[in-house]
Amino acid sequence: MFNRLLARKFSSFTKASLPSLPYGYGDLAPVISAEIMELHHGKHHQKYVDQYNLNVEKLQAALAKGDHKLASDTAKNVRFNGGGHVNHSLYWENLAPVNKAGGDMPSKTSPIGKSIIQHWGSFDSFLDNFNTKAEEVQGSGWVWLAYDPKTKGLSIQKTMDQNILSGEGLGEPLLTVDVWEHAYYLQYKNQKPNYVKKIWEIMNWKVVEKRFDTACQMKC
């Protein structure tokens, strides 16, 4: 009886679901084509969600059975697919169509604007440093503008595969760019630098500012 109750309690988890986008698949064109968006959100992100949910259930079953080898193997899949879901959700949210404030840079006197200028001297210098960091990602990964609550500092970071920023101890995410090939290859082929340069035209800085305010709890 107790075991059954425990199993029921343990197996109730809130499944991940694919977030709907605040814009249409074609609305980020010409920076990101509708074809890429449809595949990236509808197929790739959906698969991370499905595999995460499936592997959490497998992990629960393995733990209930006391199969620790299977639990350990399955936990890797939970981590990878859960990271894929979290990272893509952040990425969609920090993009916006050009006619909906996409690409509008923050004011130089806003908290995030001041902080960027303090760290990199100018917005252009920040963008150069970010684009260079994206080039340094060999294989699949993500590039981030990160906030470290301990030092109150901004930094540009990269994570590999679907590792999440805070999980790597690299701070809180303010902005992310997916640099897996599936994010750009259909349109930009092998020209990853062109994709990263263009993405600033659809960056939603309002969301970045909101994340910054939340991360530093207005003590910037």
Which stretches of the chain bind Mn ion, using CB under 5 A? Answer: 178, 180
CB of 66 to Mn ion, least distance (A): 36
Q: Which is nearer to Mn ion, 96 or 112 (CB)?
A: 96
CB of 140 to Mn ion, least distance (A): 8
CB of 45 to Mn ion, least distance (A): 7
Q: Which is nearer to Mn ion, 110 or 163 (CB)?
A: 163
Instruction: Decide if 146 contacts 126 (C-beta within 8 A).
Output: no
Q: Which is nearer to Mn ion, 181 or 213 (CB)?
A: 181
Q: Which is nearer to Mn ion, 128 or 135 (CB)?
A: 135
Residue nearest to Mn ion (CB): 178
| 76-82: long-range contacts, CB 8 A cutoff, minimum separation 24 | 77/51, 78/52, 79/162, 80/161, 80/162, 81/48, 81/49, 81/51, 81/52, 81/55, 81/162, 82/16, 82/48, 82/52
Q: Which is nearer to Mn ion, 83 or 106 (CB)?
A: 83
Q: Which is nearer to Mn ion, 144 or 180 (CB)?
A: 180
| Cβ-based neighbour number of residue 8 at 10 Å | 9
CB of 5 to Mn ion, least distance (A): 40
CB of 162 to Mn ion, least distance (A): 9
CB of 88 to Mn ion, least distance (A): 6
Q: Which is nearer to Mn ion, 185 or 200 (CB)?
A: 185
Rounding to the nearest 10 degrees, give the CA dihedral for residues 52, 53, 54, 57: 120
Rounding to the nearest 10 degrees, give the CA dihedral for residues 102, 108, 109, 110: 30
CB of 182 to Mn ion, least distance (A): 5
Q: What is the DSSP secondary structure assignment for residue 40, as one 8-state letter?
A: I
Q: What amino acid is encoded at 197 in this protein?
A: K
Rounded distance, CA 110 to CA 121, Å? 15
Q: What are the beta bridge partners of residue 31?
A: none
Q: What is the DSSP secondary structure assignment for residue 22, as one 8-state letter?
A: S
